């Protein structure tokens, strides 16, 4: 039997086994071909309430389980991702519209996230604090309890497992709400992997659902930490709701990342990096290069070369053909992309490449002659659009790159690494890549943005994960009871 045999999960979701929800079912379709891929259960708020209560009950025993046993489950999960990589990748290609290369990155990252989480289970979780009293004083980290995870469609597996795996390793239970558009590759695959890895029942609940299910998850009193990845607009609502309930929300939100190309950069490699940064997965990545800031001495040549490269890229169904770009996730997102492109052209930008679509297949697009007010430059597009703006000196480059409300990722291309590092210090950004484009993520590295891109690095690496998914408790121990004056 395959890991994702539909006979296992058809019409259901995972919550103490495979169960039918009160929200009915929804059809899973390929955005490229509209082919029906299966049917999954949909959770409503009552399903979320029940799952959270069950997760809280199961979590106490899990927290008391030895770190060696928790680590073993995570190691088995990592091995299962590797074992079933081809099958899971196939689902990511069909359901999320990803090219096979990107799907392979997701499965490899999922395995690495689980291996890193396995090591996290034995990570030091406290410190000895000096005390003015004759006692032992400790600050120790304890599991938060139940962690709610809300994950998006674009990198459905990575953006869910990066919270699920460390939260479980640190002794928490998890309730995951994947996007309905990628409920299998971003949700049910994770349930199946941990089911096969031997995770005790009740610790992981995977509930595909809509806005109401997400609201119920944030509000549920059993959930102490919310890990949300998605748009800035939705993230603000999650943060506001979590604050009302006095719980922590870790928010990884949108971006409009700048790639700064200095005049001494290797030109051909810079164009290649710029194309990858803007067009990977149809630009549907939070770290996508949304702004190309290019020195005036090479800007026109850069536009021509980037446009020529865009025109050569192939767009189509990645499940059927060897293509560079797949489909936009749905009509609503496609229409948003196109409206920003057309508004930019109407405002005076020059369409150097692309700007058209066939169904959900949007051509990679290059816009020249843009200004800081050009809609596709000023706003997050979340599509395969590369606006190019020139600068004349480093002061102007720093001002332009730092003028966005977002601060997720930054790329600077230059042969002078020290000059690039000095420039980076002037631009607020959670992530900086010198001599690389803006998209990059590793399980061992802290990940997060500033400003409207989120609440900082709360994903990746031991320090960030321990901070994200545990609570600090002050504990003192002394040999006898203190004598007090009354």
For 13-68, how does the pLDDT look when each residue is reduced to its tens digit (9 = 90+)? Answer: 999 999 999 999 999 999 999 999 999 999 999 999 999 999 999 999 999 999 99
| The pLDDT value given to residue 458 | 81
Mean pLDDT of the region 353-359? 97
**Dist. CA 106–CA 89, nearest whole Å:** 8
* pLDDT surpassing 70 at residue 157: yes
* pLDDT surpassing 90 at residue 461: no
| The pLDDT value given to residue 460 | 87
| The pLDDT value given to residue 174 | 98
| The pLDDT value given to residue 456 | 87
DSSP states of 329-384:
S-HHHHHHHHHHHHHHHHTT-EEEE---EETTEEPPEEEES--TT-HHHHS---SS
Q: Catalytic residue at 52?
A: no
Q: Catalytic residue at 286?
A: yes
Residue of 286, 380, 467, 471 marked active site: 286
* pLDDT surpassing 70 at residue 85: yes
Mean pLDDT of the region 430-440? 97
Mean pLDDT of the region 165-189? 98
Fold match, 6-253+454-475 / 257-434? no
Question: Phi and psi of 458, rounded to 5°?
Answer: -120, 15
The class that CATH gives domain 257-434 is alpha beta
| The pLDDT value given to residue 457 | 84
* pLDDT surpassing 80 at residue 1: no
- Residue among 209, 165, 202, 204 nearest 183 (CA): 209
Q: How far separated are the first and last CA of the chain, in Å rounded? A: 71
Reported pTM = 0.96
Burial category of 25 from C-beta neighbours within 10 Å (exposed 0-12, middle 13-18, buried 19 and up): middle
Question: Phi and psi of 479, rounded to 5°?
Answer: -70, -30
Residue of 252, 300, 331, 425 marked active site: 252
Mean residue pLDDT across the chain: 97
The per-residue pLDDT for range 240-277, each reduced to its tens digit, is: 999 999 999 999 999 999 999 999 999 999 999 999 99
| The pLDDT value given to residue 228 | 97
What fold characterizes domain 6-253+454-475? Answer: Aldehyde Dehydrogenase; Chain A, domain 1 (3.40.605)
For helices 189-197 and 158-169, the axis angle rounded to 10 degrees is 30
Strand partners, 39: 27
Where exactly are the structural domains of the chain? 6-253+454-475, 257-434
**Dist. CA 310–CA 302, nearest whole Å:** 12
How many percent of the chain have pLDDT more than 90?
Answer: 98
Mean pLDDT of the region 73-85? 98
DSSP annotation of 136? E
- Residue among 293, 295, 298, 292 nearest 310 (CA): 292
């Amino acid at each position: 039997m395959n890991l994702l045999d539909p006979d296992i999960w058809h019409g259901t979701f995972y919550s103490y086994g495979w169960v039918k929800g009160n929200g009915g079912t929804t059809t899973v379709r390929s955005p490229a071909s509209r082919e029906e891929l299966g049917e999954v259960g949909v959770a409503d708020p009552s399903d979320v309430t029940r799952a959270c209560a069950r997760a809280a009950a199961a979590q106490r025993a899990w927290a008391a389980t030895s770190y060696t046993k928790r680590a073993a489950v995570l190691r088995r999960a990592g091995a299962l991702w590797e074992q079933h990589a081809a099958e899971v990748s196939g689902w990511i290609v069909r359901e999320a519209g990803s090219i096979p290369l990107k799907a392979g990155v997701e499965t490899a990252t999922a395995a690495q996230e689980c291996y890193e989480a396995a090591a996290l289970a034995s990570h030091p979780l406290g410190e000895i604090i000096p005390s003015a009293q004759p006692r032992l004083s400790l600050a120790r980290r304890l599991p938060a309890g139940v962690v709610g995870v809300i994950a998006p469609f674009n990198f459905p597996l990575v953006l869910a497992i990066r919270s699920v795996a460390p939260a479980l390793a640190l002794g928490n239970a998890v309730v995951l709400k994947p996007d309905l558009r990628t409920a299998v590759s971003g949700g049910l695959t994770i349930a199946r992997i941990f089911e096969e890895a031997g995770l005790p029942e009740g610790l992981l609940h995977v509930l595909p659902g809509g806005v109401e299910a997400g609201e119920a998850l944030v509000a549920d009193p059993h959930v102490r930490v919310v890990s949300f990845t998605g748009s800035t607009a939705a993230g603000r609502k999650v943060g506001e709701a979590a604050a009302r309930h006095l719980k922590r929300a870790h928010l990884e939100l949108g971006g409009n990342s700048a790639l700064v190309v200095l005049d001494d950069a290797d030109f051909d490699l810079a164009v290649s990096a710029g194309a990858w940064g803007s067009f990977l997965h149809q630009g549907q990545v939070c770290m996508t290069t949304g702004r190309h800031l290019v020195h005036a001495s090479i800007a026109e040549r850069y536009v021509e070369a980037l446009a020529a490269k865009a025109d050569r890229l192939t767009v189509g169904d990645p499940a059927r053909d060897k293509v560079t770009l797949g489909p936009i996730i749905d009509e609503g997102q496609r229409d948003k992309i196109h409206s920003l492109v057309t508004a930019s052209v109407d405002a005076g930008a020059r369409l150097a490449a692309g700007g058209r679509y066939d169904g959900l297949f949007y051509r990679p697009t290059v816009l020249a002659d843009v200004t800081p007010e050009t809609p596709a430059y000023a706003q997050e597009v979340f599509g395969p659009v590369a606006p190019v703006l020139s600068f004349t000196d480093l002061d102007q480059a720093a001002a332009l790159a730092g003028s966005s409300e977002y601060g997720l990722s930054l790329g600077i291309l230059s042969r002078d690494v020290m000059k690039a590092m000095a420039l980076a210090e002037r631009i607020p950004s959670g992530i900086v890549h010198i001599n690389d484009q803006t998209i990059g993520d590793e399980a061992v590295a802290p990940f997060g943005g500033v400003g409207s891109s989120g609440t900082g690095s709360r994903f990746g690496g031991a320090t960030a994960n321990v901070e994200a998914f545990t609570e600090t408790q002050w504990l003192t121990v002394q040999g006898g009871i203190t004598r007090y004056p009354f």
